[in-house]
Amino acid sequence: MISHRQANAQRIAALDERAEALHLKRGMGIADARAMHPSIDIVEADPEADRRLLESLADWCDRYTPLVAIDATDGLFLDVTGCTHLFGGERSMLDDILSRFFHQGFDVRAGLAATPGAAWAAARFASDCIVPGGEEEALLAPLPLAALRIEPEIRASLESVGLRTAGAVMAAPRAPLARRFGVSLLLRLDQALGRLDEAVSPRLPVAPLSVERHLAEPIMLTDEIERLVKMLATTLKADLERRGEGARRLALLLFRVDGAVSRIAVGTSRPLREPLLIQKLFHERLAALEQDIDAGYGFDLVRLSVLSAAAFDMQQADLAGETRDDGADIALFADRIRARLGESAVLKPVAVDSHLPERAVAMLPFAEAPQRISPPKKPGKIQDTSSKPVFRPERPIRLFRSPEPIEVPATEMPEGPPMNFRWRRALYRVARAEGPERIAPEWWREAPGQEDAPTRDYFRIEDSDGRRYWLYRQGLYGASQAAPRWFMHGVFA
């Protein structure tokens, strides 16, 4: 028996058949139950664990349909429209579901109907029942008011006026029912009878493309899974070609015999539909997750889904039948590294519209960074050679994440470069210097109260040993009472 706290009292939340045989009921106080049967076993409810279990069962039910929704705390909705023929019909599918749950150790109730409301009532009040289309009213008529999924307060009010079954409510005039008990009663009734549509919202987005393979003999080895991935990817390729698309994100679902489901996802930086390349990506991902994937008694269903796709640009082959794509090998290499080590394993610098050096570049995941595409040259266009080339300021090879303070004992002139400086406890003598390059603060991006940040004057410095540095003076001499400060921001070599 399972208990939970309700209205400052411990009450029975759920009980098994043996407890029901002892005339115990849900909602009864634990003190009363112990007074009747002192030896009963009571376990405190764990709603979070129950939720995780229900979500794992919903994952497993994806083998029947991708449209699976969670109903409250103890039920699942499966929209099997168009899926029953894959399992030999409605009765065969329902028997297969009940049989598999039984062998996993679950005692479940199931019902199948044309409307979610009728299926809900059939599962809870007429288990293992298939309701033919148009016979929802005959199913609901003898059932109690709870079969209509109405609020307990409305149910109690209906019972107080002698309406104790769904059939009695259906036979009563609608207008007085709506005035006295609200429109929600008629809404639930019309949904159960199919007069109003009721959508089942799946807990996970439905993949636009999926292929799967039911296995007569469960598989356990990683090599077997990879071979199946290539076979499924070959089937997906034809569908992607027909749609003119390539996969950007794929998911591999491994359904274990005992009900556990493993979801493995990979992303691509470019649209992809070549089976061999898809197999390589999942090879890296499976190698990274080898210790986390428990095959148990084996997987009897494998599904490969395209979670997101993009337009696939076809490339013209040369006379030898080969296509030239300079970035394809780099993209594949980055995708394989990301599949094994994670999305943040490969980053790409992207220019940002900012004057400050530390803000001018952002490191983005390789797949999210924009790809550089060279526009094709228009034939016959005359190149303008009269314009002068624009030389961008030289930047160091290594830019520090945060500028490091340095000590500058003296300068040739107040606004000039230093003669020597001390950095990381070492003294460096300046042999040559270039600058300054003045960079004003970005007052529109600064935090409140810091809009008047000091100006920076950058210098390219070469010491007596030939090493080159990039340092700057923050602030101007005489501009404020505080003396300017010097910082090291990067090194050239």
Q: What is the pLDDT of residue 200?
A: 84
pLDDT digits (tens, 9 = 90+) for 345-373: 888 888 888 888 888 888 888 877 776 55
Mean pLDDT of the chain: 86
Long-range residue pairs from 328-335, CB within 8 A, at least 24 positions apart, any chain: 328/270, 331/268, 331/269, 331/270, 331/366, 332/277, 332/280, 334/269, 334/366, 334/367, 335/266, 335/267, 335/268, 335/269, 335/281, 335/366, 335/367
pLDDT digits (tens, 9 = 90+) for 165-207: 999 999 999 999 999 999 999 999 999 999 999 888 888 888 9
**Residue with tokens 């809009």, as numbered in its chain:** 451
| Whether residue 374 has pLDDT greater than 70 | no
Q: What is d(CA 301, CA 351) in angstroms, rounded to the nearest whole number?
A: 46
pLDDT digits (tens, 9 = 90+) for 19-65: 888 888 888 888 888 888 888 888 888 889 999 999 999 999 999 99
Secondary structure, 3-state, the chain = CEEEEECCEEEEEECCHHHHHCCCCCCCEHHHHHHHCCCCCCEECCHHHHHHHHHHHHHHHHHCCCCEEEECCCEEEECCCCCHHHHCCHHHHHHHHHHHHHHCCCCCCCEECCCHHHHHHHHHHCCCEECCCCCHHHHHCCCEHHHHCCCHHHHHHHHHCCCCEHHHHHHCCHHHHHHHHCHHHHHHHHHHHCCCCCCCCCCCCCCCEEEEEEEEEEECCHHHHHHHHHHHHHHHHHHHHHHCEEEEEEEEEEEECCCCEEEEEEEEEEEECCHHHHHHHHHHHHHHCCCCCCCCCCEEEEEEEEEEEEECCCCCCCCCCCCCCCCHHHHHHHHHHHHHHCHHHCEEEEECCCCCHHHCEEEEECCCCCCCCCCCCCCCCCCCCCCCCCCCCCCCCEEEEEEEEEECCCECCCCCCECEEEECCEEEEEEEEEEEEEECCCCCCCCCCCCCCCCEEEEEEEECCCCEEEEEEECCCCCCCCCCEEEEEEECC
Q: What is d(CA 41, CA 47) in angstroms, rounded to the nearest whole number?
A: 19
Q: What is the pLDDT of residue 316?
A: 55
Q: What is d(CA 447, CA 464) in angstroms, rounded to the nearest whole number?
A: 40
| Whether residue 317 has pLDDT greater than 60 | no
Give the largest Cα separation in the chain, rounded: 102
Q: What is the pLDDT of residue 388?
A: 59
Q: Which residues make Cβ contacts (< 8 Å) with residue 235, sequence separation at least 6?
A: 211
| Whether residue 481 has pLDDT greater than 80 | no
Cβ-based burial of 70 (10 A; exposed 0-12, middle 13-18, buried ≥19): middle
Name the least confident of 16-30, 68-82, 267-281: 16-30
Global pTM?
A: 0.72
Region 103-129: mean pLDDT is 91
Q: What is the pLDDT of residue 276?
A: 94
Q: 247 and 306 in contact (C-beta within 8 Å)?
A: yes
Q: What is the pLDDT of residue 75?
A: 92
Q: What is the pLDDT of residue 137?
A: 92
